[in-house]
Structure 1
Amino acid sequence: MMMAENALKLGEPGFAGDDHVLPFQVEGLDVRGRAVQLGPMLDGILGRHDYPAPVARLLAEAITLTVLLGTSLKFEGKLIVQTKGDGPVDLLVADFAAPENVRAYARFDQAALDAAIAAGATEPHELLGKGILAFTIDQGAHTQRYQGIVPLDGHTLEEIAGVYFRQSEQIPTKVRLGVAELYDRDAAGKARHRWRAGGMVAQFLPQAPERMRQADLPGGDGEEAGHKIADDDNWAEAKAMVETIDADELTDPNVGTERLLFRLFHERGVRVYQPQQVFDRCSCSREKLKGVLSGLSAEEIAHTADDKGEIAVTCEFCSTTYRFEAAEVLPQ
């Protein structure tokens, strides 16, 4: 992760606030990373779909992870984080379009989800089931997509993302994710419900690459790693600090990302950089969807149109419905 040059020591003016990703560097530990608290942006995405709470929590974690990683992109393009599994929540998609736009949705089987909730099986690994977590980087036309895939082999998205970094990036990385529901009252005294999430990605990036070596991963089926390598002392200390974070600290608006970083790393010389705001913005448009429909045959269009000769298309991400007259999209 590259850092901007305009670093601030903690304590100087310029606190990030909600929906701003905050890059940081811990000079004394050779650690760089990003931290974030998501509020209105996340609440807008989840509230639009009115997901059941277990589904909303899963998608909130996926969004937080995507925002943390997507804001490190140094080019115009997309990062897509996606899970596919055989559990009640068979699909999560979070899409970050650099430099700042986020959209996401979840797909689930209501009957299977109800059965899982009734049985108390609402942990992430129980809802996702067996499958994959995929990270896709798309730099646009005339470029080849990069995709990294790891199995859904872990109890949480934190653990699964850690496996991805270990296998694909080969950089010592620690991921923390947290989600919370807040119940309070607005300025008029009306009760309200809001979603919040927070997260942190910390990476060990010393000047000497050989210090980044890690123990082999187990080969599976109970096989132990071939040999063990002790963590570099700096990384062991940084990782232990990050592991002490409570989920409540990640999401508490009274703590904030700067205060959390100060609590963890102030003795080691932590610096923060200019925060980057992220927005709940979908890339769908009437023109794009019209282009897709125009590629259908006259028979397909006739089959899709309703009794009034209209075609309604709803975006899975933002739930916006676009309506077209069949005549608008018929092949010329």
Structure 2
Amino acid sequence: MKIVQELKDRGIAPAGNDAVLPYAVEPLDVRGRAVFLGPSLDRILDRHDYPVPVSRLLAEAVTLVTLLGTSLKFDGRFTLQTQTDGPVSMLVVDFETPDGIRACAKFDADAVAAAEREGRGDAPSLLGRGHLAMTVDQGANMQLYQGIVELDGIGLEEVAHRYFLQSEQIPTVVRLAVAEILDRQEGTMPRHRWRAGGVLAQFLPEAPERMRVPDLHPGDAPDGAEVHEIEEDDAWVEARTLVETLKDEELTDPDLTVEQILFRLFHERGVRIFTPQAVEDRCRCSRQRVEGMLRSFTEEEIRDMTKEENRIEVTCEFCSSQYDFEAEKILADVN
């Protein structure tokens, strides 16, 4: 608790849960962000009541997007979406600046249950093969930027590493962890809560030649082909190695703070922390938005959606909010 007391003595409040903490380790030319997610993650996952393996995977994706989305310096959106052949066929996590996050998943319940029974409940097994897209939307009249990462039996940490290597050529390391914790508050029934932690570190020296990284293996190179090897900068090797030492238990311990995690990692070099950025579970759906979406369909499509008593019911896949419309009013606008 020494670091927490030191922050209080300086008049600095700890970031707490659901707040991303930017940091810098200047002697190592490293900048990054760290986060612990708690109540916001509970709300997202409790709303959907997914099987535990699906909730764990989605929580990991939410943590990754929180670390990446809060780096945007403009009004916009950062979206992660997977399309795969695994038991969890799709994940969608959407971050809207400055602080809104929402998420959902599509999965085959029988396939997920079978994978869990067989001990294949890890992220690579649940995702299977396919691709993951990370999209940056800077708003109207601005070009979308999208990076695609092949999913070939890798987890989300490796996805992040490949994404930055392919799209930005920035040496990056990410650690993610998720846990379900039994909360025993006095006077209440014990309940399960979700907790996730993540740390991202990037090597950003003034001299760009120090950032050189080896090319990704092409996968189809002939036997005996020369492997592209580059000696990594000593400062980056030190920083990357330190982040990789983080254990899952540290990143999900409710008695630790992000400040303590960063101090454990970098106290010998000195770590600077900046103003934390809060994040919250927030969906963008509204009656007006849904109604506008319905008006974009054809008359035939609208009639196919219409149920008994001439009603159209729409449920938001992100927040489970339900909207009810009179079909004839929508058709009148379409016609």
Matched with 1:310 is 311
Deviations 1:99-124 (A, max 9, x none): 10000001001122222222222121
Matched, 1:72 2:59: no
Deviation at 1:10, TM superposition (A): 6.2
Give 1:45's aligned amino acid.
I
- What does residue range 37-116 of structure 1 map to in structure 2 within 5 Å? 37-116=36-115
The 1-side partners of 2:260 and 2:152 are apart by 33
Q: Give the 3 Å change call, closer, same or farther, for CA 291–236 of structure 1 in structure 2.
A: same
- Cα distance in 2 for partners of 1:129, 1:119 equals 15
Query: What corresponds to 1:155 in structure 2?
Result: 154
Matched, 1:251 2:249: no
Per the alignment, in what secondary structure is the counterpart of residue 102 of structure 1? strand
Distance change in 2, residues 1:186/1:225 (3 Å): farther
- Amino acid in structure 2 at the alignment position of 1:311: I
SS of the equivalent of 2:209 reads helix
1:138-177 Cα offsets, whole Å, 9 max, x none, are 1111111110001013532101211111111100000110
Residue in structure 1 matched with residue 3 of structure 2 by the alignment? none
Q: CA RMSD in A?
A: 1.6
Q: What's the secondary structure of 1:181's corresponding residue? A: strand
- Which residues in structure 2 correspond to 1:113-192 (within 5 Å)? 113-192=112-191
SS at match of 1:178: strand
Cα deviation per residue 1:20-50 (whole Å; 9 max; x = unaligned)? 0000000110000000000000110011000
How many percent of aligned residue pairs carry the same amino acid? 57
Aligned length: 324
Aligned-partner Cα distance in 1 for 2:287–2:198:
34
Correspondence list, 1:21-32, <5 A: 21-32=20-31
**Partner Cα distance (1:117, 1:254) in 2:** 29
1:300 aligns with 2:301: yes
Letter in 1 for 2:168: E
| Structure 2: gaps spanning 5 or more residues | 1-5
| Distance in 2 between residues matched to 1:145 and 1:49, nearest whole Å | 30
Query: Structure 1 residue 328: deviation in Å?
Result: 2.5
Show the counterpart of 1:3: none
Is 1:19 paired with 2:18? yes
Give the whole-Å Cα distance in 2 for the aligned partners of 1:303 and 1:162: 44
Residue equivalent to 1:4: none
Q: Any conservation in 2 of the 1:219–1:225 contact (CA below 8 Å)?
A: no
For residues 244 and 310 of structure 1, the distance between their equivalents in structure 2, rounded to whole angstroms, comes to 56
Query: Which letter maps to 1:26?
Result: V
Q: Structure 1 length as normaliser, TM-score?
A: 0.94
Distance 1:154 1:30, change over 3 A: farther
> Structure 1 counterpart of 2:31, which letter?
R
Answer yes or no: is the 8 Å Cα contact 1:10–1:272 preserved in 2: no
Q: Is the 8 A contact 1:10 1:271 kept in 2?
A: no
More off after superposition, 301-310 vs 126-135: 301-310
Paired residue secondary structure (1:121): coil
Relative to the length of structure 2, the TM-score reads 0.93
Segment of structure 1 superposing worse, 214-223 or 174-183: 214-223
Q: State the match for 1:319 in structure 2.
A: 320
Deviation at 1:204, TM superposition (A): 0.4
Q: CA deviation at 1:225?
A: 6.1
Q: Give, as a single letter, the amino acid of the residue that structure 2 aligns with 1:121.
A: R
| Structure 2 CA distance for aligned equivalents of residues 10 and 170 of structure 1 | 35
Q: CA, structure 1 residues 114+18, in 2 after alignment: closer, same or farther (shift >3 Å)?
A: same
- Structure 1's 109 and 310: CA in aligned 2 closer, same or farther, altered over 3 A? same
Structure 2 distance, partners of 1:264, 1:225, is: 36
After superposition, give the CA deviation of every residue in 1:264-283 in whole Å (9 maximum; x if it has no partner).
10111100000000010000
Letter matched to residue 230 of structure 1: E
- Do the aligned partners of 2:128 and 2:152 also contact (CA within 8 Å) in 1? no
Supply the AA of the counterpart residue of 1:76. D
CA separation of 1:190 and 1:74: change in aligned 2, threshold 3 A:
same
